[in-house]
C-alpha cells in the first residue's frame, strides 16, 4: 500500500500560493480551482485562526459559516441526547466544514470541533450558496468531498463497533498525522478517549502497548509517531480501506 498518499488521495498539487494578506493557501480544494473560480471566491474568503476546542457547529445549529480548513484538525462527532459523543470523521487541509450547505440544507447534523489548533478560510453560508452557482469546479469538488466524508463516517462507525482500542488508536494517529502533515500529534489522552468513545484507562493501556513496541512515543499532551510502517501494520484494516478508496475515486475523477 502506498504510505504517503495525502488524505485526499491527491498525489501532486500546485505549491501553496500566497494571498495578498500574506496567508498561504494550503487547502487542497481551493488550490485545485481554476483561475476564473479563484477570482470569484478568493475575495469572499476570510482567513481565521481556530483555537483548540473551538466549536464550529452543534447538531441542530443553523450553519452560518463554512470553512475551508487550511491547517490543524477538525473532528466531526456524533452527539447523543445524554451528552455522550464519539468521533465519526476527521477533517484537515484536504477538506471543508459546512457540507449540508452544498446541497441547499441549512442545519448541522453533527458537532464540528477543533481538535488541533487550526486555520481556515471562512465564508458566509449565503455567499457560498451564491458563489457555487458560478463555480462548477468548486461545486463538484465539494460534492466529491461530501462523498469522501460519507465513506469515512461509515467506515469509522463500523470501526468503533468492531475493532479494539489499540488498533483504533493506531488508525486515529495515522489519520491525524496525515492531515496535520506531521509525525507529532498534539493531544491529551482524555481527548483521545472521547474521540475513540472509550474510557481513558483503555487509551492509556493501548498507548502503552504501542509505545512499548517502539511505534510511538508519548509525552504530556503530544504523541510522536516513531515507526510509521509498523504503526500501519498495528492499525485496523479501516485505515487502508479508506486510503485506497479515496485514491481510487481520485483516479476516476481525473
- Would you tell me which residues interact with Zn ion (CB under 5 A)? 159, 163, 236, 238
Q: Return the number of the residue (10 or 163) whose C-beta is nearest Zn ion.
A: 163
Q: Return the number of the residue (142 or 236) whose C-beta is nearest Zn ion.
A: 236
Q: Return the number of the residue (159 or 216) whose C-beta is nearest Zn ion.
A: 159
The grid cell for 252 is 476516476
Q: Return the number of the residue (33 or 236) whose C-beta is nearest Zn ion.
A: 236
DSSP character at residue 53: T
* Strand boundaries in the chain, DSSP class E: 17-18, 24-25, 46-50, 55-57, 65-79, 85-91, 96-97, 111-124, 184-186, 216-219, 222-225
What is the closest distance, in whole angstroms, from the C-beta atom of residue 236 to Zn ion in the complex?
Answer: 3
Which helix (H) or strand (E) segment is 195 a member of? helix 189-196
Q: How many CB atoms lie within 10 A of CB 54?
A: 15
Q: Report helix, strand or coil for 105.
A: coil
What is the closest distance, in whole angstroms, from the C-beta atom of residue 169 to Zn ion in the complex?
Answer: 10
Q: Return the number of the residue (41 or 156) whose C-beta is nearest Zn ion.
A: 156
What is the closest distance, in whole angstroms, from the C-beta atom of residue 192 to Zn ion in the complex?
Answer: 15
DSSP character at residue 108: -
What is the closest distance, in whole angstroms, from the C-beta atom of residue 238 to Zn ion in the complex?
Answer: 3
Please state whether beta strands 24-25 and 46-50 pair in parallel, antiparallel, or not at all (unpaired). Answer: unpaired
**Residue 160, CB-side half-sphere exposure with 13 Å CA sphere:** 19
What is the closest distance, in whole angstroms, from the C-beta atom of residue 10 to Zn ion in the complex?
Answer: 24
What is the closest distance, in whole angstroms, from the C-beta atom of residue 244 to Zn ion in the complex?
Answer: 14
**Concatenated DSSP letters for 9-45?**
-----PPPEE-TTSPEE--HHHHTS-HHHHHHHGGG-
Q: Return the number of the residue (123 or 148) whose C-beta is nearest Zn ion.
A: 148
Amino acid at each position: 500500500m502506498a504510505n504517503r498518499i495525502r488524505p485526499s488521495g491527491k498525489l501532486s498539487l500546485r505549491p501553496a500560493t500566497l494571498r495578498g494578506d500574506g496567508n498561504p493557501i494550503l487547502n487542497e480544494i481551493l488550490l485545485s480551482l481554476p483561475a476564473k473560480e479563484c477570482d470569484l471566491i478568493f475575495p469572499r474568503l476570510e482567513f481565521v485562526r481556530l483555537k483548540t476546542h473551538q466549536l464550529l457547529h452543534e447538531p441542530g445549529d443553523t450553519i452560518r459559516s463554512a470553512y475551508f480548513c487550511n491547517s490543524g484538525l477538525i473532528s466531526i462527532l456524533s452527539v447523543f441526547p445524554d451528552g455522550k459523543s464519539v468521533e465519526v470523521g476527521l477533517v484537515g487541509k484536504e477538506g471543508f466544514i459546512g457540507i449540508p450547505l452544498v446541497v441547499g440544507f441549512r442545519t448541522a447534523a453533527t458537532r464540528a470541533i477543533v481538535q488541533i489548533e487550526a486555520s481556515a478560510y471562512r465564508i458566509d453560508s449565503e455567499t457560498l450558496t451564491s458563489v457555487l452557482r458560478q463555480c462548477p469546479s468548486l461545486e463538484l469538488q465539494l460534492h466529491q468531498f461530501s462523498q469522501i466524508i460519507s465513506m469515512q463516517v461509515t467506515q469509522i462507525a463500523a470501526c468503533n463497533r468492531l475493532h479494539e482500542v489499540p488498533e483504533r488508536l493506531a488508525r486515529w494517529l495515522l489519520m491525524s498525522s496525515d492531515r496535520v502533515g506531521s509525525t507529532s500529534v498534539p493531544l491529551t489522552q482524555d481527548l483521545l478517549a472521547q474521540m475513540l468513545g472509550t474510557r481513558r484507562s483503555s487509551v492509556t493501556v493501548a498507548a502503552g502497548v504501542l509505545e512499548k513496541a517502539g511505534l510511538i512515543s508519548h509525552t504530556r499532551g503530544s504523541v510522536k509517531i516513531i515507526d510509521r510502517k509498523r504503526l500501519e501494520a498495528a492499525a485496523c484494516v479501516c485505515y487502508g480501506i479508506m486510503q485506497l478508496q479515496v485514491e481510487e475515486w481520485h483516479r476516476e475523477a481525473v
